[in-house]
Amino acid sequence: MRTIWIALFSLMSALAHANIPLTEALGNGPPIPSAPRLASTGYLLIDARNGEVLVEHNADERLPPASLTKMMTAYIAERELAEGRASFEDMVPISVKAWKTGGSRTFVREGTEVRFEDLLRGIIIQSGNDASVAIAEYIAGSEDVFADVMNQTAASLGMTNTQFLNSTGLPAEGHYSTARDLAILAARTIEDYPETYSIYAEKSFTYNGIRQANRNTLLFRDPSVDGLKTGHTEEAGYCLVASAVRDDFRLISVVMGTDSEKAREQETTKLMQYGFRYFSGKTVFAANEVLPESARKVWFGEAETVELATVDPLYVTLPLGRESAIQATLDAPESLEAPLVAGDVVGTVKIMLGDRVLAESAVAVASDIPEGGFFKRIMDFVLRLFA
């Protein structure tokens, strides 16, 4: 195995595969202060790109999610759009049940039809319970069936501590989620449906002559914030899932169980400021990037050597000032036999911190190497005997 030392300017890494906190695993460097302690029942801060946890407290405690539930309702609606089973122009009938649903509302009227796009904006921006029920009934026939779709979707996303009983987040015994699961959902919303994610940043929406401001007040205070969703019930307290991006570094925070709208905003701001001040992320190697010092001897081929390249991108997260503690290791045979086809996997490259693997990718030959002629093969056969 050969170890490739990467210069400070070209390498940062994340502890996606480690089992200890990021700030406790990186050796010497500029001091990183302890994470802020929030007045919140459960909270989490992650790098949106790789899920690296920067701060957490009670992140796996099952808690009532209130209207954070609507992130899943919107996610399923966005999936319907992306997969062609619905369009913004679809006219959705409004049932008596949808019309009568209490709490925050978009103010749709029973017996009318409303554009799918307007209902989606009503869910995301206005947190409309009536809009959520209407979308649920349109997609699944009934809200009960839609709840099954929600739970199946949650399981497929890896949300292992979540159970939805309705599309709105209105109180129901056994309706729960966790900060970690909601962070997973937020990250997938951003990654899977970028075309509609921009709706989460819209500051107001008017329907039926009634203009309502987005309940995520951070949108009005921090230009780096572009989502996602607030929630509140007496049981759940005040909750907020937020995302912000600065210099291509995106964070997602989840704050659950604060005691006021102001508190959920303040506590979220503490997490975001800590994350952006003391951490950063970078792509170490792009997909299909040729690795330095990776040339391998080729036997029986038209060329004598072949370079190796990553299969997947290697993205990492580090506390600022810890880059020099990282190294990369390439595990691949020192020699290969032709013929070789570009893309043939021959090993792995790992970003390491001591014995810990921070990120890894398969590596493949970067170019085609056809088999050499008869005399080249005979010569290589003899040379390899002595080698």
**25 found inside a domain:** no
| pLDDT score, position 355 | 74
pLDDT tier at 7 (50, 70, 90 boundaries)?
very low
**Mean pLDDT calculated for residue range 334-362:** 89
222 and 369 co-located in one domain: no
104: region left, alpha or beta (phi > 0 left; psi from -120 to 50 alpha): beta
113 and 196 co-located in one domain: yes
Catalytic choice (70, 229, 270, 282): 70
Q: Say which amino acid occupies 318.
A: L
136 and 179 co-located in one domain: yes
CATH of the domain at 197: 3.40.710.10
**233 found inside a domain:** yes
To the query of whether residue 335 is one of the catalytic residues in this protein, the response is no
334 and 206 co-located in one domain: no
| pLDDT score, position 1 | 40
To the query of whether residue 297 is one of the catalytic residues in this protein, the response is no
**26 found inside a domain:** no
Lowest mean pLDDT among 24-28, 139-143, 207-211, 281-285: 24-28
Q: At 325, phi and psi to the nearest 5?
A: -80, -5
**34 found inside a domain:** no
Catalytic choice (127, 132, 167, 243): 127
Write down which residue in 258, 293, 311 finishes a domain: 258
Domain that holds residue 326: 2-17+284-386
**24 found inside a domain:** no
To the query of whether residue 67 is one of the catalytic residues in this protein, the response is yes
147 and 201 co-located in one domain: yes
Please state the domain count of the chain.
2
**31 found inside a domain:** no
172 and 299 co-located in one domain: no
**Mean pLDDT calculated for residue range 232-243:** 98
Catalytic choice (67, 132, 167, 280): 67
**200 found inside a domain:** yes
Q: Which of 247, 327, 256 is nearest to 279 (CA)?
A: 247
**Mean pLDDT calculated for residue range 296-304:** 94
DSSP class of residue 274?
H
| pLDDT score, position 226 | 97
Q: At 127, phi and psi to the nearest 5?
A: 55, 40
**Mean pLDDT calculated for residue range 101-114:** 96
The pTM of this model reads 0.88
Both tokens of 137, joined, read 């009934």
Whether the per-residue pLDDT at 15 is higher than 60: the answer is: no
| pLDDT score, position 17 | 39
CATH of the domain at 309: 2.60.410.10
300 and 246 co-located in one domain: no
Dist CA 260 CA 270 (whole Å): 15
- What confidence tens digit (pLDDT) does each residue in 173-207 have? 999 999 999 999 999 999 999 999 999 999 999 99
140 and 210 co-located in one domain: yes
* Sheet strand arrangement including 305-306: 305-306, 296-299, 335-337
312 and 245 co-located in one domain: no
- Give the rounded percent of residues in the chain with a pLDDT score beyond 70: 92
**Mean pLDDT calculated for residue range 85-103:** 97
**122 found inside a domain:** yes
305 and 175 co-located in one domain: no
